[in-house]
Amino acid sequence: MTEPAGWWRYSRLATLFLATTLVLVFSSCSSGTVDRTTTTGPLASTSTVISPTTTTPPVAATTVIASTTTTTEEPISTTTTTPLAPLRALRLELLTDGLHQPVAIASSFGEDRLYVAERTGIVQIVDPSGEIAATPLLDLTDEVNDFSIEQGLLGLAFHPDDTGPQRRMYVYFSVDGDDTMLVEYRTTNATSVDLSTRRVLLTIDQPAIRHNAGMIQFDEDRALYLSLGDGGSGGSNGQDTSNLLGGIIRIDVNGDPYAIPASNPFSDGGGAPELWIYGLRNPWRFSIDQGFAYVADVGQDDREEITVVSLEDGGANLGWSLLEGSLCFSERNCDPKGTVLPTLEYTHDDGCSVTGGFVYRGSAIPELFGHYFYSDWCSGWIRSFVFDGETATDQQDWTDQTGVPGQVNTFGVDNAGELYLATWSGSLYRFVAER
């Protein structure tokens, strides 16, 4: 991206998406390549690269269950370990470049198989080798409205409790009239959905075509969280707790059509009972890890931000549109008292649209255990930090090792906790170690 700095001030994300899309179209027509700008932002000068300085190499653990000859004793569990060679570099392994605008990655039905939501309304099945199944899991293209780049099928999650062939899955998408919906389906098996099980949980009145967010996650108590942008109408929905816009909602899907968790901050009044936190502009991607939500909120003119919020801190006000990051936005001399400031923020000299990822909890790269990964849609760098309960520590920029994969739409994890990302141009990558 080589536009002058002032360009951003008067742009909106949708305009950016459209403009960048046109750049992509034209560049692919003319040369077949995309000019990917690498970043030299503030982190670059201070970031460090993980070097294997530990004297005890990380190990890959495998558990062996020893059978016993009697039925009255518990099996004896022993653990054998295989030392791993030192991590030389973090790489992105291309699984496929055959997706179309992938926006969400979910897992269920066995390790490594991924379900990838494409913005136009299709849920593709991708096997561990990167092969895309000939028949998608779900095709909602007749219903999904993908007119604007911020509309379409935007969120996908499976219910973590379901282990049989009939599993509940949740999709969030735009429809005609520009409203958005949260809908539940049940699978018939790992490769098909019973469309007759469709159950509409929510229809959300949207004032405009932008800032629809749409990430769906479950916590350990099996509450469903859905991020909703402020609607893109320029109003103050972020600070208005009477509607669901500009917040993350938390609902219990075991209801008709859902129930309100008693711990929700407005379950007894004072705001929309579904609302969990508010003060958000366009929380496109967030994830939940060990009692915390990592909320990445796409900024307006100057700042991109990630705020780590305890799941026990319902009612937190993350500031928008009083604040953009830690800067006053709607008022020149604002009082940020009562808001939660970002755990991490960066300026638009360093990107334009944060893409939140996940905390790595896999076993293939133990050096990354506990590191939260994220990217920026315009710059394409790959960065991580470790949340220590209060601050973002151990901030690292991995781009020298991974390269810039493109415009990162989303991250995802498989059932084993291994990390993936998908780009606007349709590529799906797995994070792998070079040893």
Give the footprint of Ca ion on this chain (CB under 5 A).
Answer: 318-319
Question: How far is Cα 227 from Cα 148, in angstroms, rounded to an integer?
Answer: 18
Q: Min. distance of Cβ 411 from Ca ion in angstroms?
A: 20
Q: Min. distance of Cβ 269 from Ca ion in angstroms?
A: 25
Collapsed DSSP state (helix, strand, coil) of residue 14: helix
Q: Min. distance of Cβ 320 from Ca ion in angstroms?
A: 5
Q: Min. distance of Cβ 334 from Ca ion in angstroms?
A: 12
Q: Min. distance of Cβ 323 from Ca ion in angstroms?
A: 5
**Which C-beta is closer to Ca ion: that of 136 or that of 319?**
319
Contact present, 125 and 189 (Cβ < 8 Å):
no
Phi and psi dihedrals of 316, rounded to 5? Answer: -60, 140
Q: Min. distance of Cβ 343 from Ca ion in angstroms?
A: 10
Q: Min. distance of Cβ 354 from Ca ion in angstroms?
A: 11
**Which C-beta is closer to Ca ion: that of 189 or that of 330?**
330
Closest CA to 167 of 189, 183, 182, 139: 189
**Which C-beta is closer to Ca ion: that of 274 or that of 324?**
324
**Which C-beta is closer to Ca ion: that of 229 or that of 319?**
319
In sequence order, the 6+-apart residues with CB closer than 8 A to the CB of 88 are: 52, 433, 434, 435
Strands (DSSP E) contained in 127-191 are 138-139, 153-158, 168-174, 180-189
**Which C-beta is closer to Ca ion: that of 118 or that of 297?**
297
**Which C-beta is closer to Ca ion: that of 308 or that of 433?**
308
First to last CA, the chain: 33
**Which C-beta is closer to Ca ion: that of 150 or that of 345?**
345
In sequence order, the 6+-apart residues with CB closer than 8 A to the CB of 43 are: 346, 350, 383, 395, 397
Closest CA to 362 of 287, 414, 288, 418: 418
Contact present, 311 and 277 (Cβ < 8 Å):
no
DSSP state for residue 422 in the 8-state scheme: E
Question: How far is Cα 36 from Cα 27, in angstroms, rounded to an integer?
Answer: 11
Question: How far is Cα 356 from Cα 376, in angstroms, rounded to an integer?
Answer: 8
**Which C-beta is closer to Ca ion: that of 95 or that of 322?**
322
Instruction: Please give the residue whose beta carbon sits closest to Ca ion in the complex.
Output: 319
Q: Min. distance of Cβ 121 from Ca ion in angstroms?
A: 31
Question: How far is Cα 196 from Cα 343, in angstroms, rounded to an integer?
Answer: 43
